[in-house]
Structure 1
Amino acid sequence: MIDGLLIISDKGTDKIVEALQLIRDFDPVRYRRLLGDVRQVFVTTLPASVAQWANSSKACELDERHIISEGTTPELVASIIVHEATHARLMRCGIGYEEALRDRVEQVCLRREIAFAARLPTGKGRSQQAEATLEAMPDFSDKAMSERYLSGLRDALLYLNMPTRLVDLTVSYRRWKHRRRFSRQPTN
C-alpha cells in the first residue's frame, strides 16, 4: 500500500513505486485526484495494450511484460498511470467509453499525459511520444480494438505458459467469435 493505493504485483513493483513518487512530487494535484479515483494498481498480462482501466475494480491494470522491460522507465510508467487515472476521472464524472466517445476520451487522456510529462525534468521524450500518438490516433472502433486483442492474445497466453495446443484452440475460437460478431453488424 502506498498512500492507501493497493499495488498488486509480483514483478516491477519498484518502478511502480517510483512512478507514483514522480506523480506525487511533480504533480501533487493530479496525485491527490488519482488517490481518490483509483483503488489499486494491478500488474497482469494484457493482450491488447500496455495498460487499461478496469472500472468495476477501480484498478489501473498494467501489462507485466511492459513493466519489467528494461526500456520502460519509471517516468513512462508514471505517464501510463496518469493516462489510466484520467479514464477513472472521466468515468467518475459520468463519461463512459462507448465507441462513439472513445476517440475523444483517448485524446483527453493523451493530453493529460502530455501535461504531466511537461512537468518532469526528463519528460520531453515522453511528451513527444504522447503527442505523436495524439497526431496519429489509432482506430478505437469496437472492431479495431477486438482485432488488436486477438493479435496480442497468442503472445499473452504463451507468456503465461499455456500449452501451445490450448493456445491455438483458444485463439481460433476467439477469432471465430470475432468474425461472427462483426459479420452480423450492419456496415455504416
Structure 2
Amino acid sequence: MRWTIHGERALYDTPWLRVRSLDVEQPDGTRTDYHVVRLRDLAVTAAVDDRQRVLMMWRHRFVTDTWAWELPMGLVEDGETPEAAAARELQEETGWRPGTMRELVYAEPAAGITDSRHFVFRVDGARRVGAPTERNESDRVEWIPLADLRGMIARREIVSSATLVGVMALLLDLD
C-alpha cells in the first residue's frame, strides 16, 4: 500500500538535518500531517587486514553519553560519491588509506521517519599514511579481530546502528 505525498514544508533547517512536515494521504484515504527528518547520506568503512581484523575507533557519543567501538564513518558531502566519502573518512579518522573498496551493504536505518541512507564499504589492503587528521573523532584506533565482534556486540561494546549493520554484514561476508 502506497502513501501519497501532496506537499512538504520546512519546519527546521541546519546543515546537518532538516525537519519537514509532509501533507500525506494514507492508503485508506485519510489525509494527515506527518513529520520527517531529512539527513545527509552516511558512508561507512570496514577495513579488513590480512590477519582478519577490522579497523575500529573507540568513541564517546555525547548525545547518549556512551562509549563504544565504531567503524570510521561520516556524511557524504555535496558532489561526493558515497565511496569517495568512505575513503576520505577512513583516512581523516584513522590515518589509513584504502586499498580495494567494494560496497558491502546498503541500509535505511529508520525509513519510517528519516530518509537517511547508509552505504557501508569493505576495504582490503589499507595502508597507513600518517596520523588521523580529524582530532575530534576518537582517542583510540585499533585493529579488532573479526572473531571478537560477536562478543563485543553481546557486551554492548558496539551499539552504533551503522557499525552494527557494517560488522554484521562483514561477518556474513566471511561465510
Report the TM-score when normalising by structure 1.
0.23
Instruction: Identify which of structures 1 and 2 has the higher relative contact order when contacts are C-alpha pairs closer than 8 Å and 6+ apart.
Output: 2
Report the TM-score when normalising by structure 2.
0.24
* Structure with greater strand share of residues: 2
